[in-house]
Amino acid sequence: MTVIIDQMLTWRDVARAGAGEALALSPAAWARVEQASRIVERIVETGVRAYGVNTGVGALADTVVDRASQSLLSRSIVLSHACGVGPLLAAREVRAIIAAQIANFAHGHSGVRREIVAHLAALLEHDCIPDVPSKGSAGYLTHNAHTALVLIGEGSATLAGLRMSGREALAAIGLQPLVLGAKEGLSLVNGTACATGLTALALSRAERLLDWADAIAALTLEAAGCQIAAFDEAVLALRPSPGIEKVGAALRARLAGSGLVAAALGRRTQDALSLRSVPHAHGAARDVFDNSARITDQELASVTDNPAVSGTPEQPVVSSEAHAVAPALGQAADSLAIAVAQIGAISERRMDRLVNPLVSGLPPFLASDAGSHSGFMIAQYSAAALSNENRRLAAPAALDGGLTSGLQEDFLAHPTAAAGKLLTVIDNAEYILAIELMAAAQAHDFLAATAARAVGTDLVHQAVREHVSHYGDERPLNGDIEVVRSLIRETAPPPVR
């Protein structure tokens, strides 16, 4: 399928493009792009001073660049800004960034030519992935510049599994390197496409993770003999929250008809908080998710190029502003990182209650032969380590600060850094939930003769056992963790019928 840009994209559209769908512009969007390009042409003709069109950039904003040098300025901006370092971003991440950048140009306030947008769309269509280093950007410039390198035949890219030069990659998909015009170099490195694309992908992954977290928690709650009354609709309604309401309903649906829960009725006055507060922790994460999604869509609806062009070719208007700064987006990614880190933290605590012989009532560490076998003892260590790493990563990037460009850029909001660490937090949380899911399935194996599982949790148990078998210390456990993590990352939990 192809994602069509008409007025604006949503974060779901960007995530779809990241996952492999092509992207195209409607006639109305193309008209906006072409109108803005004509406005820049007129600015060049008249010589009206405009940042990044006929001046230098950053601290060189007051340095005038003559008309003959404006194309060279655009090329020089791309080359000098392409200074990222470290491991490359994944193909899905680069695709999402490109999609968000095209969406920004489609607003019709950047002034790049149609050819720029068409080349970017062709990269998505042919799955030609520029090599974009993941580190070295205080805001957005370096990531975008590495994509722009390929458009001018520089840099490198991966196509059909083969790494090649930017010029070779363009030739392979039937394109020639572009010669950039006035402002195009600045527009290609500018804006919040990097942070927006990465955050859209993070939202897509977090949404699936939250659904799995509810399903996995239900399997654990059942194995632990939870006191189901804590999740009654009327009880949870005493604390109004859309997230709590949604999680409570999900838990009740999963656990409906559980013989294990019925057998545990009245066993304890109340459960430990890692069990009893699942609707509260998971619900809070869902509320944060909804707000982060709203802000990301708000970002996609925004013009984030500086300067912005408007008016008409006859009466051009160029506006220097700060729309490329995105405090709200950085704060949204930071908030979601905290929420997902807490999902991982409560998952690790639930998992510990299954393996800990002091509280579980199950074989120690879920080992099939405690003593000669360690079972899930060290898997809990891994979950704890990942949870601790997430706690460190949850520190806000939006407050990192920094002074760049000779004090001209003396405030930085760091949305790209926030989005990058959010993705790492999600990575870790997926592993933690995978370990809990494996432990919960193992616990249910031992409880099989005690009472019947609920239909909803039995579906989750079956999903695990279709991928990994009961663990008896006969194989390295990390292989199972990777398999179950892939299940959580790539598929939705089985729905309750």
Domain boundaries, the chain: 2-190, 199-490
How far is it, in rounded angstroms, from Cα 253 to Cα 488?
Answer: 20
Does the domain made of 199-490 have the CATH classification 1.20.200.10?
yes
pLDDT in tens, 22-51: 999 999 999 999 999 999 988 888 777 777
Closest CA to 92 of 127, 52, 116: 127
What's residue 371's pLDDT?
80
Length, in residues, of the chain: 497
Q: Contact at 8 Å (CB) between 460 and 433?
A: no
d(CA 189, CA 317): 21
Instruction: Enter the DSSP assignment of 176.
Output: P
**pLDDT in the model for residue 61:** 58
Question: Tokens 């300025």 belong to which residue?
Answer: 73
| Residue 322, pLDDT score | 82
**Domain 2-190 part of CATH 1.10.3720.10:** no
pLDDT tens digits for range 111-163 = 999 999 999 999 999 999 999 999 877 666 789 999 999 999 999 999 999 99
CA 263/CA 307 separation, integer angstroms: 67
Positions in the chain whose pLDDT score sits under 70:
52, 54-69, 138-140, 401-411
The amino acid present at 259, given as its one-letter code, is G
Chain centroid offset of residue 95 CA: 12
CA 442/CA 375 separation, integer angstroms: 10
pLDDT at site 210 = 98
Contact 144, 186 (CB under 8 A): no
* Amino acid 249: pLDDT: 98
Chain Cα centroid distance, residue 475:
33
Q: What is the pLDDT of residue 403?
A: 64
CA dist., res. 89 & res. 490, Å (int): 19
* Contacts by 361-367, CB closer than 8 A, 24 or more apart: 361/225, 362/223, 362/443, 362/446, 362/447, 363/446, 366/439, 366/442, 366/443, 366/446, 366/471, 367/473
Q: What is the pLDDT of residue 140?
A: 67
pLDDT of residue 411: 60
The answer to whether 151 touches 119, Cβ cutoff 8 Å, is: yes
